[in-house]
């Protein structure tokens, strides 16, 4: 059985154990990894994520009352939340993501009935692979199943993003929720964060794999620095007399370098070059130029580390080790930074030796054994039929 089928079966079994009946609805929504286009989603630019083959699965059944009785297998925690358009978040609780999607859907006029639901996941949490977006999108997908309605995919992603903003207090861009809703198997999503339009770019090459490596660290300055970067990007745009860094070229920026604060210049330099790299990366993928794509990933990391200063010594070390390892085409930090994961483009035939080389080098220097897994571009959120599950 595949990992995914195992996860689904375990979720169904957990539902039976908890509620004594079979679930009726079964849905899955994936985490994501961004191949290139980092710190760009809030700068009107392009990002290029793909769904990973790690999912949040929810099994649901009816409940006669205005509440959702939730249980997380991962956290071994049960909680009942009200089904109410006026429901507000509870301080730092995992059910806020679910609560947010339900409350916003109800406020939008969806008639949400009571339900029992078991949440289970193999998306690592807090590692930048967006388990929170997967949980929100899985909840939205559950609501579609429960109410027999279909949301417009973009509306569904935006509703999930709104839940993250208002119920988790995280002012994220649109990438995570769009990825979990819209990604397709064997494709990456070239997403224009300005127009919220997208293109599915085929990624079909058995010889190339995507390797995710978790640095195992998360430096606490991430939240404050994120807000600061957003501000510095606004400052860069203001210095260039534009509403958005998307609208200026590298030449425009270079022409104003001497008038600009050095730090603000570098922040703008990252954004402008990263938007261009992401467009080039999509071109490289379309034309099968995998070496070129890998090179762009290395350049992206360099820019994030030097110009944008959101890397850290552990992420830099992982990328340096990747560079020295035979069979790696490219590598970079992925996600907000200051820890979390790197994403690498590698030759499938050398996957085992690459993983060993990077893990050995990293643990020798840091004492941390990095969690690593290879993944492929996977299918976005979908409902599953109970008949497809193995008891």
**Site size toward ligand ADP, by CB under 6 A:** 17
- Smallest separation, CB 70 to ligand ADP (Å): 9
Question: Residue 125 binds what, of ligand ADP, Mg ion, none (CB under 5 to 8 Å, by partner type)?
Answer: ligand ADP
Q: Does 130 interact with ligand ADP (rule: CB under 6 A)? A: yes
Are 1 and 9 contacting, i.e. CB atoms less than 8 angstroms apart?
yes
Asked if 183 is part of the footprint of ligand ADP (rule: CB under 6 A), the reply reads no
Q: How far is the CB of 130 from Mg ion (least distance, A)?
A: 5
Candidate list 13, 74, 348, 366; residue touching ligand ADP; CB under 6 A: 74
375 part of the interface to ligand ADP, by CB under 6 A? no
Interaction of residue 132 with ligand ADP, rule CB under 6 A = yes
Which one, 122 or 325, has the nearer CB to ligand ADP? 122
Nearer of residues 138 and 293 to Mg ion, judged by Cβ: 138
Residue in 87, 105, 121, 232 binding ligand ADP, rule: CB under 6 A: 121
Q: Which is nearer to ligand ADP, 289 or 373 (CB)?
A: 373
> Which listed range, 12-20, 32-40, 123-131, 377-385, lies at the site for ligand ADP (CB under 6 A)?
123-131
Q: Which of ligand ADP, Mg ion, none binds 336 (CB below 5-8 Å, type-dependent)? A: none
Q: Is 53 a catalytic residue?
A: no
- Least distance (Å) from Mg ion to the CB of residue 121? 12
**CA–CA gap between residue 86 and residue 119 (Å, rounded):** 23
Among 9, 13, 125, 348, binds ligand ADP (CB under 6 A): 125
Q: Which of 41, 44, 53, 176 is catalytic?
A: 176
Nearer of residues 45 and 339 to ligand ADP, judged by Cβ? 339
Interaction between residue 135 and ligand ADP (CB under 6 A): yes
Q: Choosing among Mg ion, ligand ADP, none, which partner's interface includes residue 28 (Cβ < 5 to 8 Å by kind)?
A: none
89 is a contact residue toward ligand ADP (CB under 6 A): no
Sheet strand arrangement including 208-218: 328-334, 339-347, 208-218, 371-375
**Which of residues 165 and 382 has its CB atom nearest to Mg ion in the complex?**
165
Residue 97 or 203: the one with the smaller Cβ distance to ligand ADP is 97
126 binds ligand ADP (CB under 6 A): yes
Rounded CA separation 292/272 (Å)? 19
Number of C-beta neighbours around residue 243 at 10 A? 11
Q: What is the 3-state secondary structure (H, E, C) of the chain?
A: CCHHHHHHHHHHHHHHHHHCCCCCEEEEEEEEEECCCCCCHHHCCEECEEEEEEEEEEEEEECCCCEEEEEECCCCEEEEEECCCCCCCCCCCCCHHHHHHHHHHHHCCCCCCCEEEEEEECCCCCCCCCHHHHHHHHHHHHHHHHHCCCCCHHHHHHHHHHHHHHHHCCCCCCHHHHHHHHCCCCEEEEEECCCCEEEEEECCCCCEEEEEEEEEEECCCHHHHHHHHHHHHHHHHHHCCCCCHHHCCHHHHHHCHHHCCHHHHHHHHHHHHHHHHHHHHHHHHHCCCHHHHHHHHHHHHHHHHHCCCCCCHHHHHHHHHHHCCCCEEEEEEECCCCEEEEEEEEEHHHHHHHHHHHHHHHHHHHCCCCEEEEECCECCCEEECHHHCCC
Selection from ligand ADP, Mg ion, none that 322 binds (CB < 5 to 8 A by kind) is none
CB 58 within 8 A of CB 118: yes
Nearer to Mg ion, 95 or 303 (CB): 95
* Contact flag: residue 52 with ligand ADP (CB under 6 A): no
For 112-128, b where at least 16 C-beta lie within 10 A, e where not — what string?
A: bebbbbbbbbbbbbebb
Q: From the list 4, 15, 71, 94, which residue makes contact with ligand ADP (rule: CB under 6 A)?
A: 94
Please give the residues from 118 up to 147 whose contact with Mg ion meets the rule CB under 5 A. Answer: 132
Question: Does residue 177 interact with ligand ADP by CB under 6 A?
Answer: no
CB of 208 to Mg ion, least distance (A): 27
Positions that interact with Mg ion (CB under 5 A): 132
Annotated catalytic residues are 176
Q: Which residues bind ligand ADP (CB under 6 A)?
A: 56, 72, 74-75, 94, 97, 119, 121, 125-132, 135
């Amino acid at each position: 059985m595949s990992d995914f089928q195992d996860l689904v079966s375990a979720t169904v079994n957990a539902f039976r154990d908890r509620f004594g009946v079979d679930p009726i609805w079964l849905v899955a929504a994936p985490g994501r990894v961004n191949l290139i286009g980092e710190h760009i989603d809030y700068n009107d630019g392009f990002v290029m994520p793909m769904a990973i083959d790690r999912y949040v699965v929810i099994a649901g059944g009816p409940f006669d009352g205005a509440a959702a009785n939730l249980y997380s297998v991962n956290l071994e925690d049960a909680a009942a939340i009200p089904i109410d358009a006026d429901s507000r978040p509870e301080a730092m609780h995992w059910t806020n993501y679910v609560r947010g999607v339900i409350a916003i859907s109800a406020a939008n006029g969806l008639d949400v009935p009571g339900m029992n639901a078991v949440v289970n996941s193999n998306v690592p949490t807090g590692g930048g692979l967006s388990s929170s977006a997967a949980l929100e999108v899985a909840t939205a997908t559950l609501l579609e199943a429960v109410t027999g309605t279909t949301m417009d995919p973009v509306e569904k992603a935006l509703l999930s993003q709104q839940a993250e903003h208002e119920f988790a207090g995280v002012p994220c861009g649109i990438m995570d929720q769009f990825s979990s809703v819209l990604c397709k198997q064997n494709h990456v999503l070239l997403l224009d964060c300005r127009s919220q339009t997208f293109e599915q770019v085929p990624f079909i090459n058995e010889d190339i794999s995507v390797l995710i490596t978790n640095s195992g660290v998360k430096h606490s300055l991430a939240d404050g620095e994120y807000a600061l970067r957003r501000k510095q990007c606004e400052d860069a745009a203001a210095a260039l007399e534009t509403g958005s860094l998307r609208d200026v070229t590298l030449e425009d920026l270079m022409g104003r370098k001497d008038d600009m604060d050095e730090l603000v210049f570098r922040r703008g330099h990252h954004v402008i070059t990263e938007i261009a790299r992401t467009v080039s990366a999509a071109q490289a993928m379309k034309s099968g130029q995998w070496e070129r794509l890998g090179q762009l990933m290395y350049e992206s990391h360099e820019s994030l580390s030097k110009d944008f200063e959101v890397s850290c010594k552990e992420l830099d070390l992982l990328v340096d080790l990747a560079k020295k390892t035979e069979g790696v085409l490219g590598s970079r930090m992925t996600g907000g930074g200051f820890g979390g994961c790197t994403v690498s483009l590698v030759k499938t035939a050398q996957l085992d030796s690459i993983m060993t080389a990077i893990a050995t080098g990293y643990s020798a220097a840091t004492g941390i054994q990095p969690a690593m897994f290879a993944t492929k571009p996977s299918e976005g959120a979908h409902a599953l039929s109970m008949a497809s599950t193995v008891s």
